[in-house]
Chain A
Amino acid sequence: MSQENRIPVAPIWGYEDTSRIPFWAYTSEDIHKQELEKFFYKDHWCYVGLEAEIPQPGDFKRTVIGERSVIMVRHEDNSIYVVENVCAHRGMRFCREKNGNAKSFTCPYHQWNYDLEGNLQGVPFRRGVKQDGKVKGGMSKDFKTSDHGLTKLLVAERGGVVFASFDHSVESFENFLGPTMLFYYDRMFNGRKLTLLGYNKQRIPGNWKLMQENIKDPYHPGLLHTWFVTFGLWRADNRSELKMDEHFRHAAMISTRGSGGKDTQTTNVSSFKESMQLNDPSFLDVDVEPWWDGPTAVMMTLFPSVILQQQVNSVSTRHIQPNGHGSFDFVWTHFGYEDDTPEMTERRLRQANLFGPAGFVSADDGEVIEFSQQGFEQKPFHRSLAELGGKGIEETDHMVSETLIRGMYAYWRKVMGV
């Protein structure tokens, strides 16, 4: 059902199921604006950061939800607030620091001042100036500071991770995740305090959904990521499961690594070298942690904004920050746990060499996303294919399926109404 002769391409799905995904889903600016409204600003919880990033009262961090700049701040009473970084007066993005400590927020343009919850505290010349015994200028008599606060977001905090929503009628965070995802979420964030190890940030010239799909796609790791396979971190025959929430929007790829090396049917990778050894094996000096309770890797995609990574000892959040339909910033926040020994911290840092924009197995993900977007842009009437494991949507006990991608687009179609 080609749309080749219909330019511009109409946003009609045109396929029976989600084993075909039209390229316009990635190339239309109009679709992108709708996605921001429907997924990032309404009905969904979006990632903003870790509590460990703002440990002290007054500590704040500037970040984004979709394409809207927000500030996550810790109040004197220790609770966390998230407010939009747009002054209620003239709309200026007033907060320029990436992080810091503040008693209140002040927009430099006209010195409008807000408390940490976002309430407007005062405006200069509200009652005008006295001149020749008369009061001149000032705000209207009916001007109320209480009408002009910053946009306040709903905040959910669980296990040291902070989510927020512009939509005050959004379901609870726990409902939003659903029991299956909540189980794996709580496994990783089980109440221990997190410690911040730092950031990796990359700008990927591709549609933001491609990153969600990348982590819902267990087809590619053993094929694209030769390094993974070579050193035994990923094999198609590893014990593994694919799970979703009831809406199919969130997913978890759960796997337990085998012995690696030269067992049978390891790989189809042509460059695979059985005898390859690391010069410095400490890259993969894995120490099994009790909280894993089995799986050596659990990759969770929480739709739309974040990926939660456990790859052996390396744990991180990966925040998706779209900028237009064809680009997003990908911000990795690596962390550890309060009871980590110095050796465990070292181990997490060493294994982080596998991930991020320079990572042995993640650098290539950004690259393939860029080139996928290039293909979509040149052929917007075409579609991609996600048929591994059939055309339906179901959880599996193996990795040879694109069911999670099909699930995500079933949800996407429902919300987008296409």
Chain B
Amino acid sequence: MNTESYLKLIQFYQNYAAMVDQEHWNAWLDMFAEDCIYKVQARENHDRKLPMAALSLTSKGMLKDRIYGITETIFHDPYKQLHMVSSPLIMSESNNIIESQAHYTVFRTKNDGMAEVYNIGRYIDRLRVTDDGIQIESRLCIFDNEMILNSMIYPI
């Protein structure tokens, strides 16, 4: 991968974090391909090859439905997220498909509260490079936390 492509990839990862942290859900949706997979899964399940995930969305329609849930139906304490995302590690690249990974840390801050480490883990991604930019075909968020701190509303 040349430097320019790598810079685009870094930009993509950082933009994803920015869109999620700023709760720009339509922009978040736009980063996914029509036919996409998005999962947030405990590392225990992932390592033991157990399919259960905290969230397992297997179409863009499901992502839209999740956003509807977040914004319209799920009652929850208001909170802000802040993502710190590492530089991506390229696993493979061919035919406009990039397989890459990056570490993430998500801090959660509630109203009246202090920031706390909310979720840490690794993105395992399959990305498609198109003329319109990079799109996510598959993003697995594999988190190390043994326990989710009560609930998980927003995407990671």
A binding-site residues for B, Cβ under 8 Å: 98, 196-205, 224-227, 230, 271, 273, 276, 278-280, 282-283, 329, 334, 345, 349-350, 352-353, 356-358, 360, 363-364, 366-368, 370-371
Contacts and interface: CB of A to CB of B under 8 A. Distances in A.
Nearest to A269: B73
B61 A279 contact: yes
A196 B59 CA distance: 24
B40 A358 contact: yes
Interface string B71-113: 0111111000000000000000000000000000000000000
Q: Which of A198, A199, A205, A352 has the most CB of B within 10 A?
A: A198
Nearest to B49: A198
Contact of B153 (A196, A197, A199, A363): A363
Given A202-B148, A280-B59, A358 B73 contact: no
B4 interface: no
A271 B146 CA distance: 34
Given A198-B50, A358-B151, A370 B77 contact: yes
B56 A203 contact: no
A349 B148 contact: no
Contacts of A205: 150
B15 to A, nearest CB: 23
A246 B37 CA distance: 48
B54 A98 contact: no
Contact of A360 (B40, B73, B146, B150): B73
Contacts of A276: 68
B58 interface: yes
Contacts of B151: 202, 357-358, 363-364, 366-367
B153 A279 contact: no
Given A204-B150, A357-B150, A368-B75, 7 more contacts: A198-B44, A226-B75, A227-B69, A278-B65, A357-B54, A357-B148, A358-B152
B149 A197 contact: no
B22 interface: no
